[in-house]
């Protein structure tokens, strides 16, 4: 069965630091990859997604992610975080177009002033 | 920007009681989903719904659960007899077409269900 692993459960960093969150999936076929963010008390919001094409995907709020097929990875990056990036980040995968997501466990990111 | 609306935001219920969680999907969307997130655990798929019937459901979605689209706007999740382990955040989502992930797949803000 497919699964999604996020390496860090909790990350604390200072403003202006760089952020990288790891995501690996286990599925041998074609995948669609996503990163969602959940700010405190709010709904899941799509940061970025990858279906095909350029493996370096740019999303909202200065985030980007790189799909490395050989490593089954889709890591999220942001060069310089802000306090407002404090949130929980979820990696998600679908293996078809019908919208059944497989989520990772999430990474809680805390950015300190 | 269109939103998926869920009510209530927080519901507390006694074990054994029935609860109905309500969702108003985006108006032109045709595919509907429920997910749940037990505290500290992953967001898990429960069920997908299209054309007034369930298209897929997970192992979690047993006979205690049911979904319904009672009118043109609401999409509900009913838990017949709640258990302590049903305590979780429940997310509704909708998408415009069967190409769900390509067409405006949107999550609601969730209903936190607490079973006591």
Please check whether residue A21 is in contact with residue A6, taking contact to mean a CB–CB distance below 8 angstroms: yes
Q: Which residue has the higher pLDDT, A16 or B96?
A: A16
Element housing A58 (H / E): strand A56-58
Set of chain A residues whose Cβ sits within 8 Å of the Cβ of B96: none
pLDDT in tens, A35-52: 999 888 777 888 998 988
Angle among Cα B17, B21, B24 to the nearest 5 degrees reads 165
- Per-residue pLDDT tens digits for A62-98: 999 999 999 999 999 999 999 999 999 999 998 766 6
- pLDDT attached to residue A16: 97
Label residue B2 by pLDDT band (50, 70, 90).
confident
Enumerate residues 6+ apart whose C-beta is below 8 A from A84: A111
Which chain B residues touch A44 with a CB distance below 8 Å? 43, 91, 107
Name the more confident of A46 and A15: A15
Which residues of B make CB contacts under 8 Å with A? 4, 31, 33, 35, 41-45, 48, 55-56, 91, 93, 95, 98-102, 105, 107-110
Spell out the alpha helix ranges (H) of chain A.
none
| Mean confidence (pLDDT) of chain A | 91
Q: Would you tell me how many other CB atoms lie within 10 Å of the CB of residue B63?
A: 7
Q: Please tell me the predicted confidence (pLDDT) of residue B82.
A: 97
Report pLDDT digits (tens) over B107-116.
898 999 999 9
Mutate to test the interface with A, among B101, B106, B108, B112 (most CBs of A within 10 A): B101
pLDDT at A98: 61
CA distance B12 to B42: 21
How close, in Å, is residue B10 to chain A by CA atoms?
11
Task: Flag whether pLDDT at A111 surpasses 60.
Answer: yes
Reported as a single tens digit per residue, the pLDDT across B71-106 is: 878 999 999 999 999 999 999 999 887 655 566 678
User: pLDDT tens, B7-66?
Assistant: 999 999 999 999 999 999 998 888 899 999 998 788 899 999 988 999 999 999 999 999
Q: Assess A1–B contact: CB distance below 8 Å, yes or no.
A: no
- Pairwise pLDDT comparison (A34 vs A2), residue with the higher score: A34
The pair phi, psi for residue B43, each rounded to 5°, is -75, 125
pLDDT at A27 over 70: yes
Cβ atoms A48, A34 nearer than 8 A? yes
CB contact under 8 A, A99 and B48: yes
């Amino acid at each position: 069965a497919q699964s999604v692993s996020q390496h860090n459960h909790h990350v604390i960093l200072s403003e202006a630091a760089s952020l990288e969150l790891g995501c690996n999936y286990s599925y041998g076929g074609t995948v669609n990859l996503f990163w969602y963010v959940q700010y405190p008390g709010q709904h899941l919001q799509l940061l970025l997604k990858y279906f095909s094409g350029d493996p370096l995907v740019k999303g909202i709020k200065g985030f980007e992610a790189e799909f490395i097929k050989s490593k089954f990875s889709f890591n999220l990056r942001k060069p310089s975080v802000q306090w407002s990036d404090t949130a929980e980040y979820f990696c998600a995968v679908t293996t078809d177009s019908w919208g059944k997501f497989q989520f990772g466990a999430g990474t809680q990111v805390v950015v300190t002033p | 920007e269109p939103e998926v609306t869920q009510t209530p935001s927080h519901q507390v219920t006694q074990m054994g009681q029935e609860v109905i969680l309500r969702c108003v999907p985006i108006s032109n969307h045709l595919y509907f989903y429920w997910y749940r997130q037990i505290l500290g655990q992953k967001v898990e798929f429960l069920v997908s719904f299209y054309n007034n019937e369930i298209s897929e459901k997970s192992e979690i979605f047993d006979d205690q659960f049911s979904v319904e689209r009672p009118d043109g706007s609401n999409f509900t999740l009913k838990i017949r007899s709640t258990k302590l382990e049903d305590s979780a955040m429940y997310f509704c989502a909708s998408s415009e077409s069967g190409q769900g992930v390509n067409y405006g797949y949107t999550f609601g803000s969730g209903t936190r269900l607490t079973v006591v």
